[in-house]
Structure 1
Amino acid sequence: MGKLVSTLFITLDGVYQAPGGPEEDTRGGFEHGGWSFVYGDDDFGRFVIEVFDRSGAYLLGRRTYDIFAGYWPHKTDPADPIAAKLNALPKYVPSATLTDPSWAGTTVLSGDLAKEVGDLKERTDGELQVHGSGALVRSLLALGLVDTLHLVTFPVVLGSGLRLFPEGTAPMAFRHTGGRVTSTGVSIQSYDLAGRPTYGSYADEDAGNA
């Protein structure tokens, strides 16, 4: 059985929209696309390659799929560690509107998300990886289907854009499993989903020490 692993780029104020380029995602009049680019370095590149080395299949939201499908099929160098994986391994897209995907190896999921993704995890050898796809990741987290979340936080605040955990997100707890900081200040932290939050009170602790 594979693990479902999400890798997401976010800003310090939680924005995940359009990290890769100005025209990547302009919904809501978003004008800050490409905010992650200037922080790329060798540390960051090594992390990305490590992630793709563990992939067995990909689960992508429709918007992320369209962005990837417009770029990666044209990268045909077999020595490219990211393109080689993305083009060769199975890709799955939950969508009610995508009917004839052109990217080889793509399967459209149109049924019950929990069941279909659960089945994918059962039969995937290696990691079933989600890249970007913030709205899909929130749904998978709410269903308890995400095993590991790589949260890659860039040292920038944008003040607008789609946020990973907006108001109304289902409460959830995580267990920190490792991390590093790149030379440009990008914080790469890994978390395993750990169920619901637990609560306490410092007032109770102070009373016990009185």
Structure 2
Amino acid sequence: MRLVLQEFLSLDGVCQGPGSPDEDTSDGFTRGGWFVPYLDEEFERLAGLWLGEADAFLFGRRTYVNFARDWPTMTEHPFAHLLNGLPKYVASDSLTEAAWDPSTILSGDVPAQVADLKRRPGRELQIHGSARLARSLLAAGLIDELRLAIAPVVVGEGRRLFPDGGAPAALRLMSNETTPGGLTVQVYESAGAPEYGTYGAGA
């Protein structure tokens, strides 16, 4: 399976609490829900196409707990059968059980276990949110594709997908489009280590 990250970002790179004010208030974050005003039918269509490529999901603990609380009750949502029915893996050293069936807890050497999952047959193993997990897997060179939905808003504080001191990585742009609501949807594939140069050298 290919490992694909899907992440909502602000213009200043914040990924914390995009869906509601109380989604993730860790570290005193009070500006949640910043992504919602820009949702539109075109993005819902894209999200549905992406979900249709999933054969399994991978979550960090916090995102898993939120999804496991909400999605089993959202049976009328067009994506519910996919999120509720497909295999789910949660990276956590603190969870002792994962009741959102079918779910499996990954603990210990998570990158090695994810590498094993990638060797299984299938299409996509999708990460939704889960920024801390995504950063560690990006540093390990395991993420094959990034789908970033960028909202035209500066949040000003909060957890970022690419913080200072994060692992460097080169990306190759595969597609770029803008929805009527103002979201910029950028799809990248991993391209190994970055290259560096000097402008004008050899000109």
Task: Classify the TM-score, shorter chain.
Answer: over 0.9
After TM superposition, give the deviation of residue 203 of structure 1 in Å: 3.3
What is the aligned partner in structure 1 of residue 71 from structure 2?
Answer: 72
Does 2:156 align with 1:154?
Answer: no
Provide the TM-score with structure 2 as the length reference: 0.97
* Deviation sequence 1:77-119 (CA, Å, 0-9, x none): 4xx4311001110000111111111111010001312221011
What is the aligned partner in structure 2 of residue 45 from structure 1?
Answer: 44
More helix by share: 1
After superposition, residues 2-41 of structure 1 pair within 5 angstroms as 2-41=1-40
* Deviation sequence 1:127-152 (CA, Å, 0-9, x none): 00000001110001000000000011
Opposite residue 50 of structure 1, the aligned amino acid is: L
2: CA distance between counterparts of 1:20 and 1:75?
A: 15
Does 2:58 align with 1:55?
Answer: no
Q: Which runs of 4+ in 1 moved over 2 A?
A: none
What is the aligned partner in structure 2 of residue 167 from structure 1?
Answer: 164
Q: Which moved more, 1:115-124 or 1:18-27?
A: 115-124
Contact 1:15 1:164 in 2 (8 A): yes
What is the aligned partner in structure 2 of residue 118 from structure 1?
Answer: 115
What is the aligned partner in structure 2 of residue 131 from structure 1?
Answer: 128
SS in structure 1 opposite 2:119?
helix
2: CA distance between counterparts of 1:117 and 1:202?
A: 39
1: CA distance between counterparts of 2:21 and 2:116?
A: 36
What is the aligned partner in structure 2 of residue 109 from structure 1?
Answer: 106
Provide the TM-score with structure 1 as the length reference: 0.94
What is the aligned partner in structure 2 of residue 203 from structure 1?
Answer: 200
After TM superposition, give the deviation of residue 55 of structure 1 in Å: 0.5
Considering only CA atoms, is the larger Rg found in Structure 1 or Structure 2? 1
Opposite residue 67 of structure 2, the aligned amino acid is: F
After superposition, residues 77-92 of structure 1 pair within 5 angstroms as 77=76, 80-92=77-89
Does 2:92 align with 1:95?
Answer: yes
2: CA distance between counterparts of 1:62 and 1:118?
A: 19
Return 5+ residue gaps in structure 2 as ranges. Answer: none
1: CA distance between counterparts of 2:137 and 2:38?
A: 28
2: CA distance between counterparts of 1:117 and 1:128?
A: 9
Q: Percent same amino acid at aligned positions? A: 49
2: CA distance between counterparts of 1:111 and 1:162?
A: 24
Q: CA RMSD in A?
A: 1.0
Opposite residue 108 of structure 2, the aligned amino acid is: G
2: CA distance between counterparts of 1:186 and 1:106?
A: 32
Return 5+ residue gaps in structure 1 as ranges. Answer: none
1: CA distance between counterparts of 2:121 and 2:13?
A: 30
Gap change, CA 1:10 and 1:177, over 3 Å in 2: same
